[in-house]
Amino acid sequence: MSVRPAESITRARSVERLVTGQATSDGAGVKLTRVLTQPLQRRLDPFLMLDAFGSDRADDYIAGFPDHPHRGFETVTYMIAGRMRHRDSAGHEGLLENGGVQWMTAGRGVIHSEIPQQEEGLMEGFQLWLNLPARDKLCAPWYRDFTADELPRFVTEEGVEVTVIAGESHGVVGAVTRESTAPLYLDLQLPAGASFTQALPAGHNAFVYVYRGELTLGDTPVPPKRMAILANDADSDGVRMVAGADTRALLIAGRPLNEPIAQYGPFVMNTEQEIYQAVADYRAGTLAV
Ligand code: CO
């Protein structure tokens, strides 16, 4: 793994607020924590949802997510531990496991299933929903699986291990880049006491989700299982964090689309009329052809 010197920034963003996720279930009864909920979609534009799942009780995940549709955005599934099989209407099939990422652009429409391939043991990971600009909402579906080995990684001089799922960090380009929303998606493993700095454009919305350990961002301690929404301070050019313990966290940022958001379940469009159309197409069997 290449060692990279720290990115230098002049002023770090402050924390605007801490968010505790909401326990919920989705699919055929998978227990999960919705960290980024619908009321935060405008604030965290272009991100629409972040779900965290993590359980070693098979009952919490075994039913999986049988066939369901999506239109108008992208889903990014990051599997920390466990095995899940994906199949979709475009003929794609893949096994997502330990440390792998599945990036799916639903575009004009995909019907897919996500089914656990284990009957016991830990299943842990995240699903992030990234919006598409209006002009791309009906684009052709796209899909790619990345195994853990295929994801770009580096380590900082302070020993922070960084997986670059999307965007660019310390000169390392991630597995996926997107022009319109310029998403940055980093998984950080910080040893206790280590600090990490990342340059961020001031106008991009950004948040950190601590899933193990604890961090201090500016003056704000961030306990485990909390999302810290970073303020868009006009004179700040990045984020700086210090780990209070061995810590794992996601750092996610992107350029807001500033377009209307109309969501009905798995369809995210710009207007109600487009939502009606998505529902009609799904009922008519023409959503994903
Ligand atoms: Co889905």
Question: HEC profile for 137-148?
Answer: CCCCCEEEEECH
Q: How far apart are CA 228 and CA 254, in angstroms?
A: 15
What is the bridge-based pairing of β-strands 22-26 and 30-36? antiparallel
Does residue 227 belong to any structural domain of this protein? yes
pLDDT at 138: 97
DSSP classification of residue 6: P
CATH of the domain at 154: 2.60.120.10
CA of 183 to the centre of ligand 1 (A): 20
Instruction: Tell me the two tokens of residue 145.
Output: 């699986």
Binding-site residue set? 68, 70, 112, 114
Q: In the predicted model, what is the mean pLDDT of residues 210-239?
A: 96
Instruction: Give 127-165 pLDDT, tens digit per residue.
Output: 999 999 999 999 999 999 999 999 999 999 999 999 999
Q: Give 54's pLDDT tier (boundaries 50, 70, 90).
A: confident
Q: In the predicted model, what is the mean pLDDT of residues 10-17?
A: 96
pLDDT at 289: 78
CA of 17 to the centre of ligand 1 (A): 29
Does residue 289 belong to any structural domain of this protein? no
Q: How far apart are CA 114 and CA 252, in angstroms?
A: 23
Residue 17 to residues 137, 147, 193: CA-CA distances in angstroms? Answer: 31, 34, 23
CA of 126 to the centre of ligand 1 (A): 12
CA of 192 to the centre of ligand 1 (A): 35
CA of 113 to the centre of ligand 1 (A): 7
pTM: 0.97
pLDDT at 251: 98
pLDDT at 129: 98
Does residue 73 belong to any structural domain of this protein? yes
Amino acid sitting at position 275:
I
Dump the DSSP string for 72-88.
SEEEEEEEEESEEEEEE
Per the structure, how many domains does the chain have? Answer: 1
CA of 65 to the centre of ligand 1 (A): 7
Q: Give 109's pLDDT tier (boundaries 50, 70, 90).
A: very high
Q: In the predicted model, what is the mean pLDDT of residues 71-85?
A: 96
Does residue 255 belong to any structural domain of this protein? yes
pLDDT at 55: 86
CA of 129 to the centre of ligand 1 (A): 10
CA of 34 to the centre of ligand 1 (A): 14
Does residue 79 belong to any structural domain of this protein? yes
Binding-site residue set for Fe cation? 68, 70, 112, 114
Domain that residue 147 falls in: 2-284
Q: How far apart are CA 115 and CA 63, in angstroms?
A: 7
